[in-house]
Structure 1
Amino acid sequence: MHQRLLHRLAATLLLAAASAPWSSACAQFAPPSGAPGSSVLTTPHVRAELLAHAPQGVAPGEPLWLGLSLTHQPGWHSYWKNPGDSGLPTTLDWVLPAGLDPGEIAWPLPGKIRVGTLTNYGYEGRVLLPVPVTVGSGFAPGPLAQDVHVRLHATWLVCSKECIPEAGEFTLQLPIKSSTALSAAAFEAAREAQPRAVDSSSVSDNQARLDGNALQIRVAGLPAALRGRTLDLFPETPATIAAADPWTQSWNGSLWTARLPLSEQRSSSNPTALPVVLAERTPENAQRPGYRAELQVLGAWPSPAPEVGVPPALGAALEANAARAAGLENVPAAAGSGASLPALTLALLGALLGGLILNLMPCVLPVLAIKVTGLARNARDRRARRADGVAYTAGVLLCFMALGALMLGLRAAGQAVGWGFQLQSPAMVAALAALFTLIALNLAGVFRFGQILPTSLASVQAQHPVADAFLGGVLAVAVASPCTAPFMGASLGLAATLPASQALAVFAALGLGLALPYLAASFAPGVARALPRPGAWMDILRKLMAFPMLATVVWLVWVLGQQSGIDGAGALLILLLGLGMLVWALALPGRARLWTGTAAGAVLALLVWAFAPHITNGAAPAAGESAASTGQNWQAWTPGAVQQTVASGRPVFVDFTAAWCITCQYNKKTTLANAAVLADLAAKNVALLRADWTRRDPAISAALTALGRSGVPVYVFYRPGRPPVVLTEVLRVNEVRSLIATL
């Protein structure tokens, strides 16, 4: 339902663009949750690929395996289910059709990887992590369905001498009735690499007896070929055995025994069973079979060590940061509880100031420049001038409140959305590009709306100039929405936690701030008198404003390229070319309009049929590519990466950004590229993480909410044992350097 609503809103936006020169979409939305990506992702350290094995097709009772293949660059590795002394296991989160039930990862036998004094359990070279999928009787794809759509969100930690958290979104189309077996050899090799259970007749002899700070274990039922051989042991339960400490082992006939030291950092619960994997020790973890035994734990576990993790002060700071960012200490924790009068007053004031500053943003200036011509046109008509200002303000206020209501409604429905969420949708980006192309062509004089619309619609602007001013306010909101001005972030973040009436008041204050300069100018006689008299300059200014509109189109094409790849951007350019040809043809006089317009309409329809799918279905740049393109010092943000890095004693700077955020791009090219700032960050060994919100990402949305924000840009310093610090939206070099000096 949500996805159908989004596409209908995008179509409505284009229809509104054709009815009036200043029409735009008041309804804005998040991207479709099912937008496909790619089955392959390549980072500087790993090539990850989603594979499938369904030799009999996808049907109840037939075998179906899915898996993530990781091919590591030389010297790099990822981790097993128990990473050992350090690291994190790979996680796979599946989105499958009803009736398909994924199981747990069938982990292949790992190897021991030594880094300095640490011993880790993981994989080098190539490994496939297979997952069995049960096709139940409830699987009903429909009579016309040909494929099954598989989606996977995977996270992994890849390490050499340094560790880099990485993640990827993968999709795959599986034919339902035909065989998928190209990866049969890889899945067979992964099956052979899975540890086998020891002889079940000896299960009762397998024990782990606690002896002080050590475990005395015994395993029976191992194959005769292993007797007398030195074995490697891999405990499946993390943080129980000290992986790097020396230990002893011996054979007593067919019984294998060992004494292993307990981990000093043991902080988990006291298990009554301890599953372990055993394999013959070979040089450089050469291929060998593994054997799994579940040991019954006898005796009492010693008291665990205090859990090592994120300092308590950091966790508490995350909860209180929303209040601190708003200048308050008692921000309500959940929507519906309401805010105190001082809190609400500060939020309204911040929104008002943020709206005022939005008028200085480059995305809003073209609209204001055109509104100036309206003031000049009505300089001697006080009533018309004031009506124009009130109608413009009403358009801004109502559109901001509608946008706020939609955002709050989607949040209440469980959607992780925030300010600027509409530009996370490739369909909406394409619709806005088409709208601004029409406006630019109209301003440049290529066509007039009266030439291509029925007379009843074409006369609306002339008969109802107030309606035209109202739509101008709507357009101002549309072009301002990608921007976040100072004071806006904290106010909008607080609005997400307030009851609907208070939250909408914050959005109304933001709209009032945006509209206030023009509203004041329309009521101040001196402003209108100071402008030149109506004349040729108005036509020149009108045509000049076509170029900022075209610049906005260029920017939107670039944004779409970040979301859907080069094919998506190219498809949008082709469609915009066809749209331009159509409006030119419809503006021709006489019979030429009929024949040329019909042909141009047919061409545009063909182009839409052929190229529109590339806009919404195009493959986004691989995760890691965007981070790599910003410089080697920046790494991609992933959930948990900040906490892990801070727990190791290293400060972290996170840039929450998006390609469609103009303020983000300005900061990235100025302050964040400043040589002195980069030198200070390097001197303090600050880890640099970039959270790219160009496409919808619930994990980033949750992180922003924890910081009391609902949009980007957001810049945060995390420091060991101290509260995080949220910087202003428009970064200044001195501000950043001063904070770095305190680390």
Structure 2
Amino acid sequence: MRRSIEALFLTLLLLVLCATAGQAQAQIKLQIGSGTSAPAMDTATGASSSPASSNVVTTPRVRAELVALAPQGIEPGKTIDLGLLLDHQPDWHTYWVNPGDSGLPTQLQWQLPPSWDAGEIAWPTPHPIRIGSLVNYGYEGQVLLPVTVQIPSTFSADARDVTVRLHANWLICRVECIPEEGQFSLTIPTHSSTALLADAFAKARAQVPVALQGSSQASVDGETLKLRVSGLPVALQGQSLQVLSESPDTLHHAMEDGKDFQQQWEGADWTAVVPLSANRGQTPDDLPLVLTTNAHTAVDGAIGWRSVAPISGQWQAAAVAQVSHELAAALAKNAQSSAPTPPPASGSLWLAVLGALIGGLILNLMPCVFPILALKVLGFTAHGSQLREQRHAGLAYTAGVVLSFLALGALLLALRSAGQQLGWGFQLQSPLVIAALAALFTVIGLNLAGMFEFGNFVPSSLAGKQAKSPTTNAFLSGVLAVAIASPCTAPFMGASMGLAVSLPAAEALLVFAALGLGMAAPYLLASWIPAVVRWLPRPGAWMDTFRRAMAFPMFATVVWLVWVLGQQSGIDGAATLLALLVLLAALVWSLGLQGRARWGFAVLSLAGSLYLASAMGHNLTTPAPAPGQQASGALWQPWSEQKVSEINASGKPVFVDFTAAWCVTCQYNKRTTLSDSQVLAAFENKQVNLLRADWTRQDPAITQALNLLGRSGVPVYVLYAPGKPPQILSEVLSVKEVVDAVTKL
């Protein structure tokens, strides 16, 4: 039995470690545009790539997507269109090439195959956005910023597809301004048509100002500029026009027709006297202008007309041409709100360490850790009175736990510094990690149940080496315990983990080490105190019964993991995993047979597994509809930052349940306290709106909200009352705590 368990840890644990490492590597690669599907996020802005595709980045304010138009595929010497499609949330906007009185234009930095040449953004005609006395130029709703890409004649079209990458920066504003960015990657087929968004590109091109064939002139007259433009459509004659300069710091933006801005038609020529900007720079040789109607209605198929007017004369430059005071103030305010938390005082650090230590101790009580602790009980019994081996095993287990927590903490900190937005328990947000853990526990359960002995199909020399290394087994037990236990955020851990991710690296790792030490402490103490061992029964026949009984907690853990994966990938994903586990069990059983039947059944099981993985493996990673978007009844509604603000603005309180399917504490609270009749009655009496933020799969908006609350994992329960700061409740809820908090509203 010991030989089997030890060998299993050395081989099967690699599945979990490789899956977790692969997920982390994919997320790091995304930062340099590798084209993986792992989410990326900017820690200050909440920008995150969609889990389904790295050509999409979402934030609470905008959805950005890298799109392409190649109706004839990619042909040498021809062109294709790329673009950034921005879908703004209500009241939010981004900016034109000249943002106006405040703002910054969107910037695109391309990474294309050799000799591919990307042109400039073909800016659609913007519309003025008035904020108080300011006028900006930009876009609301949905806008596509198209770019023409020239394919060189030397391009070889032998490859089936081509990957293009983009790093985009944009400033998005409502009243406050928030700089955001995203890494995008898009694979375009070489020999087939890419024209799904042909209508969107056609609409964007129709909004690009049309180049005028006539002449334009501009002359400086004191603090104004006199303009004359010819060649405009006949249908425009007699209409009032808006004039926009593509060059910032030239014309005054907040001008009013008939006052400081005067215009008239002289036959087919449009003339105007426009005021110069108070922040104007040096006089350029010419001025690119865009003219449009006040209503932005199409005339002769266009809504804007572009002309470049040579400038005669010189204006006097302003003393300092600078970013507007309004933009500077907005950016400064945003920087303060998104700046890293200052290093805490030493007292706060040691409180965080103490909280992590206590949280680690309590973590041993979580049901997801129980199967691992059961294996350690078997280890204690096997050692009997061999105190030296017990102590070595205790130290090895502690080392495995502490080093694993340090590794997870370092990985989390590294990914965050690279721009990821992750929280504690992120590894169980990957369906592949879930599947690997389910396979691991299935095989361990089959071994404990007596279906097979690992030594029967492993060379005796290898099995012998494993049997002589109980210390290695203890160390791997600690690693596996952390892999399973880390998503279960125990009481006293929430604040410590939230603080840890904002600390300097050395101090943050100290908190993670304290968490690991707290979790390993009971076993470490027991291994060094002989009295604990004397309480255990002597080795005997009961051990075989106990061993087989321990298979059921393993299988129960598999049930939980399949359920978690079902929450992430839907019923098809759960069914696929179950089918693969059945074939895995058949493979393990066949390897324990004798004679030719052993290899016959083994080949059939392996072939079936490979076929199923190739045919249906995609079901494991295909996202199911977010739980918050499914029917959740009239009581609980899906969470969004905007919905919380809207409800509070109407004068009503909001209770938010930050939860995840893989969080056992969350499910316990959901089925007990949050379903209690007294709690529901208190919510109803105070007209509390109930929102559920489901973090089963990585959600950048939820991660950002948790960070703002000083938390890095779930569960988190928050009561938002109008005009009051958020009230965070305990991780393990009680009916009295919730009722008292709601009653005080």
- Whether TM-score is above 0.5 comes out as yes
Shift of 1:532: 5.9
The counterpart of 1:390, out of the listed 395, 399, 422, is 395
Q: Which residue of 2 aligns with 1:204?
A: 218
Provide the secondary structure at the position in 2 that maps to 1:64. Answer: strand
String of CA shifts for 1:541-600, please: whole Å, max 9, x gaps. Answer: 544544443343344445545666666555434332321221122233444323212322
Residues 473 and 271 of structure 1: is their aligned pair in 2 closer, same or farther, counting only changes over 3 Å? farther
**In the alignment, residue 130 of structure 1 is paired with which amino acid?**
P
Separation in structure 2 between the aligned mates of residue 364 and residue 127 of structure 1, nearest angstrom: 50
Q: Which residue of 2 aligns with 1:446?
A: 451
The reply to whether residue 252 of structure 1 matches residue 252 of structure 2 is: no
The counterpart of 2:237, out of the listed 227, 235, 243, is 227
117-126 or 439-448, larger mean C-alpha shift: 117-126
**In the alignment, residue 593 of structure 1 is paired with which amino acid?**
R
Is contact 1:232–1:280 with CA below 8 Å preserved after alignment?
Answer: yes
Is contact 1:26–1:402 with CA below 8 Å preserved after alignment?
Answer: no
The counterpart of 2:486, out of the listed 481, 486, 500, is 481
Residues 255 and 544 of structure 1: is their aligned pair in 2 closer, same or farther, counting only changes over 3 Å? farther
Q: Taking CA–CA contacts closer than 8 Å with sequence separation of 6 or more, which of the two structures ends up with the larger relative contact order?
A: 1
Residues 280 and 346 of structure 1: is their aligned pair in 2 closer, same or farther, counting only changes over 3 Å? closer
Shift of 1:122: 8.1
Provide the secondary structure at the position in 1 that maps to 2:451. Answer: coil
Shift of 1:694: 3.1
Is contact 1:351–1:492 with CA below 8 Å preserved after alignment?
Answer: yes
**In the alignment, residue 363 of structure 1 is paired with which amino acid?**
C
Shift of 1:173: 3.2
196-205 or 94-103, larger mean C-alpha shift: 94-103
Separation in structure 1 between the aligned mates of residue 144 and residue 265 of structure 2, nearest angstrom: 36
Q: Which residue of 2 aligns with 1:147?
A: 161
String of CA shifts for 1:597-634, please: whole Å, max 9, x gaps. Answer: 2322233233344444554xx44357x88567675452
The reply to whether residue 194 of structure 1 matches residue 208 of structure 2 is: yes
Q: Which residue of 1 aligns with 2:187?
A: 173
The counterpart of 1:456, out of the listed 453, 461, 465, is 461
Provide the secondary structure at the position in 1 that maps to 2:640. Answer: strand
Separation in structure 2 between the aligned mates of residue 681 and residue 131 of structure 1, nearest angstrom: 53
The reply to whether residue 366 of structure 1 matches residue 367 of structure 2 is: no
Provide the secondary structure at the position in 2 that maps to 1:108. Answer: coil
Q: Which residue of 2 aligns with 1:430?
A: 435
Q: Which residue of 1 aligns with 2:591?
A: 586
Provide the secondary structure at the position in 1 that maps to 2:264. Answer: strand
The counterpart of 1:65, out of the listed 57, 78, 81, is 81
Is contact 1:219–1:255 with CA below 8 Å preserved after alignment?
Answer: yes
The reply to whether residue 350 of structure 1 matches residue 355 of structure 2 is: yes
Shift of 1:665: 5.6
Residues 376 and 184 of structure 1: is their aligned pair in 2 closer, same or farther, counting only changes over 3 Å? closer
Alignment of 1:23-38 (within 5 A): 25=16, 28-29=20-21, 30=24, 32=26, 33=30, 34-36=35-37, 37-38=52-53
Alignment of 1:273-422 (within 5 A): 277-280=290-293, 288-292=302-306, 316=336, 319=339, 321=341, 323=343, 328-329=344-345, 342=347, 345-375=350-380, 382=387, 385-407=390-412, 419-422=424-427
Residue correspondences, number: 690
Separation in structure 1 between the aligned mates of residue 354 and residue 81 of structure 2, nearest angstrom: 56
Is contact 1:558–1:569 with CA below 8 Å preserved after alignment?
Answer: yes
**In the alignment, residue 65 of structure 1 is paired with which amino acid?**
D
**In the alignment, residue 68 of structure 2 is paired with which amino acid?**
A
Alignment of 1:85-164 (within 5 A): 96-99=111-114, 105-109=121-125, 128-135=144-151, 145-150=159-164
String of CA shifts for 1:344-386, please: whole Å, max 9, x gaps. Answer: 5444323312211211222212222343344455566655554
Shift of 1:476: 0.9
Provide the secondary structure at the position in 2 that maps to 1:35. Answer: coil
Separation in structure 2 between the aligned mates of residue 534 and residue 15 of structure 1, nearest angstrom: 19
**In the alignment, residue 493 of structure 2 is paired with which amino acid?**
M
Separation in structure 2 between the aligned mates of residue 118 and residue 689 of structure 1, nearest angstrom: 39
Separation in structure 2 between the aligned mates of residue 267 and residue 741 of structure 1, nearest angstrom: 56
String of CA shifts for 1:169-197, please: whole Å, max 9, x gaps. Answer: 98653123555456556534432331124
**In the alignment, residue 476 of structure 2 is paired with which amino acid?**
L
RMSD, aligned α-carbons = 6.2
Is contact 1:112–1:285 with CA below 8 Å preserved after alignment?
Answer: no
Separation in structure 2 between the aligned mates of residue 669 and residue 269 of structure 1, nearest angstrom: 64
Provide the secondary structure at the position in 2 that maps to 1:364. Answer: helix
Residues 495 and 255 of structure 1: is their aligned pair in 2 closer, same or farther, counting only changes over 3 Å? same
Q: TM-score, normalised by structure 2?
A: 0.69
String of CA shifts for 1:103-128, please: whole Å, max 9, x gaps. Answer: 5653434679999x999988899865
**In the alignment, residue 63 of structure 1 is paired with which amino acid?**
T
Provide the secondary structure at the position in 2 that maps to 1:363. Answer: helix
**In the alignment, residue 229 of structure 1 is paired with which amino acid?**
Q
Shift of 1:65: 0.6
Q: Which residue of 1 aligns with 2:45?
A: none
Separation in structure 1 between the aligned mates of residue 258 and residue 548 of structure 2, nearest angstrom: 79
Is contact 1:245–1:261 with CA below 8 Å preserved after alignment?
Answer: no
The reply to whether residue 620 of structure 1 matches residue 634 of structure 2 is: no
Is contact 1:645–1:652 with CA below 8 Å preserved after alignment?
Answer: yes
